[in-house]
Chain A
């Protein structure tokens, strides 16, 4: 239904009380509804904070993680504080190779940025135990979906392309035999 009042240039309609509420409708006088389009756009100056070094080093082809000086746990992705020991961690480089532990084939992504929107579907979201790490690192694995399996060996590939977010200056690929 369109508005019969030309001064109100929005569509409105009459609605009924949703089931299963009983008659008579207590809100009978409130059943004319207009729904309008509303848009918000936000831009942020988004700090990568104490973990910025991880992203900066990707540009140099280095895969940086942190470790706890007390318990020796190696955090990949890095953490600046060991949650068990409450010790401030230290940076170290890993080789960038690892083992796929679990994964999923995503038939759609969240479309968060242009980097993600450019990926062909389905996208392989991989959880990788990096060699030398204690935790699983989540990222996109670019591989033939039919060949992907838990336990397969993968490695980090680095990209120098301009990306919307620096996390896309890396991704995983199957480990190349040397």
Chain B
């Protein structure tokens, strides 16, 4: 029986930017679709059997039923479509949804299209209120809580328990923005020092401005299919290393941090999502068996918590391993070569897809100055809320 494990046929994204007011969200998404189809050298868009549309917020995008509108404007009608939403995990969940569509035999090809207008179309005050709406309205939002504050309280608990230092996560803020310097689609490439991060203005202790990820406008698209469909429809597919989307894991946790007590230092659901993905991919030793990872660095410290929860290092060791360079481009497991949410940017619905695109670019060996030598297996880690929905996806290069 031929394999139904999805392959990556093509990928395309817009540059991530603080402000794309030269276009509407539907036009932005269309740019990503055109880039993706050109990358796949797909001649006939009507060959695509299904789309999965990924966006988080009706409020930011000023549009409900945006999925149907994007479908229309990208020229995907009359193919079936579904919109997927899961907070920060939206893009990764959309990929996972496409994975299940293909694996189940419902269809052989799916275009996954994500976008968001989180940039300067609203003030940062309005942006904070809109994001706070994804917290518990009566118990977290109405007391003035922001996501920065919830993450900060969680990181504070991690520091108390494990001795993690502010310099540890400042290293993440420096490294990811440095990595972004080699990514032409990155929003905020910067050359910084740990001292710069430490001196930036406080937002919610221990997080300072440069520990926080970006508000972005952007779109990203990935075409997934069966191997047979890809060979039939995409001339580009046969010309480059074959990249399979081999495994996906998902798990959930309470939306309020306090309801997880005493598990408030780390992302408990991320541990479970990773275990589920590793079992599917046959991974026993993630640090040895994974070559690259795009990790959800919504805040610099969240990456430290995540590398522990993904099993790269033991609980509590993330900060120390980070400062030693374990996750730097020349380290044991390069993390966020794209620049991550801190350097590349984070238009929510596109974020998880952009992570997967970075992994595909690396496995295709076309990541330019970011290229990790002979990368064969890569992971994306994405979550909603403060680890409320966690999704881990794994991609592998498969040589004949």
Write the residues of chain A forming the contact surface with B, with a CB cutoff of 8 angstroms.
Answer: 15, 18-21, 31, 33, 35, 38, 46, 48, 51, 75, 77, 79, 83, 101-113, 115-116, 119, 122-123, 125, 127, 129, 134-140, 150, 164-165, 167-168
List 12 extra interface pairs beyond A33-B23, A134-B261, CB under 8 A: A18-B20, A33-B21, A102-B264, A110-B131, A110-B144, A112-B129, A112-B144, A136-B257, A137-B258, A138-B139, A138-B257, A150-B156
User: Once the chains bind, are B149 and A106 in contact (CB under 8 Å)?
Assistant: yes
The yes or no answer to B15 lying at the interface (CB within 8 A) is yes
Question: Complex Cα distance A105/B206, Å?
Answer: 8
In the assembled complex, 25 residue pairs joining A and B whose CB atoms fall closer than 8 Å, in A order, are: A18-B17, A38-B62, A77-B256, A77-B258, A103-B153, A105-B205, A106-B144, A106-B203, A107-B203, A108-B128, A110-B131, A110-B144, A112-B141, A113-B142, A115-B142, A122-B202, A125-B145, A127-B261, A135-B258, A135-B259, A136-B261, A138-B140, A140-B144, A165-B142, A168-B143
Chain B hits for A18, CB < 8 A: 14-15, 17, 20, 22
Instruction: Assess whether B281 is interfacial by the CB under 8 Å rule.
Output: no
Given the known interface contacts A106-B146, A129-B261, the answer about A112 and B132 at a Cβ–Cβ threshold of 8 Å is yes
Interface size for chain B: under 10, 10 to 19, 20 to 34, or 35 or more residues?
Answer: 35 or more
Does B366 make an interface contact (CB < 8 A)?
no
List B residues at the A interface (Cβ < 8 Å): 14-15, 17, 20-23, 62, 125, 128-129, 131-132, 137-146, 148-149, 152-154, 156-157, 160, 184-185, 201-207, 254, 256-261, 264
Bound: A18/B141 CA distance, A: 36
Residues of the A chain whose Cβ atoms lie less than 8 Å from the Cβ of B132: 110, 112
A82 to chain B, nearest CB (A): 12
Chain A residues, CB < 8 A from B184: 19-20
Contact in complex: A102, B156 (CB < 8 Å): yes
Measured between beta carbons, the chain B residues less than 8 angstroms from A33 are 21-23
Contact A127 B153 (CB under 8 A): yes
Given A106-B204, A138-B256, A138-B258, also A101-B157 (CB < 8 A): yes
Q: Which residues of A contact B259 (CB under 8 A)?
A: 75, 79, 135-136
CB closest residue in chain B, given A26: B34
Of A51, A111, A112, A135, most B-chain CB atoms within 10 Å: A112
Contact in complex: B258, A111 (CB < 8 Å): no
3 closest Cβ pairs, A-B complex: A136-B258, A109-B144, A116-B144
Kindly list chain A residues whose C-beta atoms are within 8 Å of the C-beta of B201.
107
A127 touches B258 (CB 8 A): yes
Q: How far is the CB of A81 from chain B (nearest CB, A)?
A: 13
C-alpha gap A140/B141 in the complex (Å): 12
Q: How far is the CA of A101 from the CA of B263 in the complex (A)?
A: 12
* B146 and A127 contacting across the interface, CB-CB below 8 Å: no
Chain B: CB-nearest residue to A75: B259
List residues of chain B with CB within 8 A of the CB of A46: 137
What is the distance, in angstroms, from B144's C-beta to the closest C-beta of chain A?
Answer: 3
- Indicate if the CB atoms of B149 and A104 lie closer than 8 Å: yes
Chain A residue at minimal CB-CB distance from B124: A108
Chain A contacts of B149 at CB under 8 A? 104, 106, 125
Q: Contact between B138 and A167 (Cβ–Cβ < 8 Å)?
A: yes
Query: Measured between alpha carbons, how far is A108 from B21 in the docked complex, in Å?
Result: 27
